[in-house]
Amino acid sequence: MRKISAEWSFLIFLWYVANTEPLRTLGDRFDVSISSIFCVIRRVVEWLLSRLDEEIKWPDGNDAILVTSQKFETKRDADMKFTNIYCGEPGSLHDARVLRRSLLYDTAQNNMETIFPNKTCIIGDSAYPLLPWLVPPFRDNGHLTAQQSEFNFLHSSTRMAVERAFGYLKGRFRRLKFLELLDIQFIPKLITAVCIMHNIAIKEYDENEFFADDINDFLVDNAADENYEINNLHVNRNRNEMIDRRIQMFRELFPE
């Protein structure tokens, strides 16, 4: 097998994750065997994973922090860069359960003031629980006040940047829509590597207007169900403390 340069390996990887063409066609395009493609992809993924802590970092200062979950859980800032990722759980697992199994949950519950200083928090959709550091919208039971409905609208508008980030991710790296890999354990690594590439692209201002259709499709397909109610989620926090965080935000927006 001829040696494949680092540059050529990276180009093969980029083409693989950016397109959905069969591996045989990909091999013909780059004049390499299918077995070589598998080796190249794994090698590049491992290299990208070595840059994880450098490219996906918790934000400093007053950067906006948001949360969503689409088979894997991420947090991202106002520039659509991912700041924390957690993947590998079954897609059928509820978002709230994924959150509880993540390292971020334990860290935030036990050391909230350190990672959420100055009353900062994560804004999550209605699938997530109300926590001192995580604020979902008011549950719409048909009796919301006009101000609560306005709060939910502003809440949803702010979260829209999260959906746009996923739209960019899946628009730029179309392989994510059709992952056909037999090695289940490798899939989370590949997704993580693609998230790293997403952050690098954002950092280098590599944006593409042709992702608009992918973003719009993603927004339609992943509209949050604001009426979802979380049951049986154990939270080791005082209930009044949880309610106060959302009420505090509400009163700041709508002072009496």
How far apart are alpha carbons 80 and 91 in whole angstroms?
Answer: 23
Evaluate whether residue 64 is within a structural domain: yes
93 or 41: which leads in pLDDT: 41
Q: Are residues 15 and 130 in the same domain?
A: no
- What phi and psi, each to the nearest 5 degrees, are found at residue 76? -140, 160
Judged against a pLDDT cut of 90, whether residue 199 lies above it is answered with yes
Q: Are residues 65 and 128 in the same domain?
A: yes
Q: Are residues 46 and 72 in the same domain?
A: no
Judged against a pLDDT cut of 80, whether residue 222 lies above it is answered with no
Q: Are residues 73 and 196 in the same domain?
A: yes
Evaluate whether residue 235 is within a structural domain: no
- What phi and psi, each to the nearest 5 degrees, are found at residue 208? -130, 120
Average of pLDDT values for 198-203?
A: 92
Average of pLDDT values for 178-201?
A: 91
Share of the chain above pLDDT 70, in %: 78
Q: Count of CB atoms within 10 A of residue 161's CB?
A: 17
Q: Are residues 95 and 140 in the same domain?
A: yes
120 or 30: which leads in pLDDT: 30
Evaluate whether residue 114 is within a structural domain: yes
Evaluate whether residue 63 is within a structural domain: yes
Q: Are strands 122-123 and 134-135 parallel, antiparallel or unpaired?
A: parallel
What is residue 212's predicted lDDT score, i.e. its pLDDT? 52
Domain containing 156: what range?
A: 56-224+243-253
Q: Are residues 12 and 62 in the same domain?
A: no
196 or 65: which leads in pLDDT: 196
What is residue 53's predicted lDDT score, i.e. its pLDDT? 93
Q: Are residues 25 and 126 in the same domain?
A: no
At 158, is the pLDDT very low, low, confident or very high (cuts 50, 70, 90)? Answer: confident
66 or 15: which leads in pLDDT: 15
Judged against a pLDDT cut of 80, whether residue 128 lies above it is answered with yes
196 or 113: which leads in pLDDT: 196
At 63, is the pLDDT very low, low, confident or very high (cuts 50, 70, 90)? Answer: low
**CB distance 150 to 198 below 8 Å:** no
pLDDT digits (tens, 9 = 90+) for 19-53: 999 999 999 999 999 999 999 999 999 999 999 99
Judged against a pLDDT cut of 70, whether residue 214 lies above it is answered with no
What is residue 224's predicted lDDT score, i.e. its pLDDT? 44
User: What is the overall mean pLDDT for the chain?
Assistant: 81
Q: Are residues 137 and 39 in the same domain?
A: no
What is residue 72's predicted lDDT score, i.e. its pLDDT? 53
For the chain, give the number of residues: 256
- What phi and psi, each to the nearest 5 degrees, are found at residue 85? -135, 150
How far apart are alpha carbons 2 and 237 in whole angstroms?
Answer: 59
Q: Give me the number of domains the chain comprises.
A: 2
Record the pTM. Answer: 0.79
Evaluate whether residue 231 is within a structural domain: no
| Rounded-to-10 torsion of CA 76, 77, 82, 86 | -30
Q: Are residues 47 and 67 in the same domain?
A: no
Average of pLDDT values for 191-195?
A: 96
Q: Are residues 45 and 71 in the same domain?
A: no
CA distances from 198 to 22, 56, 81, 82, 116 (A): 23, 10, 7, 8, 25
Q: Are residues 139 and 161 in the same domain?
A: yes
Evaluate whether residue 229 is within a structural domain: no
Q: Are residues 104 and 130 in the same domain?
A: yes
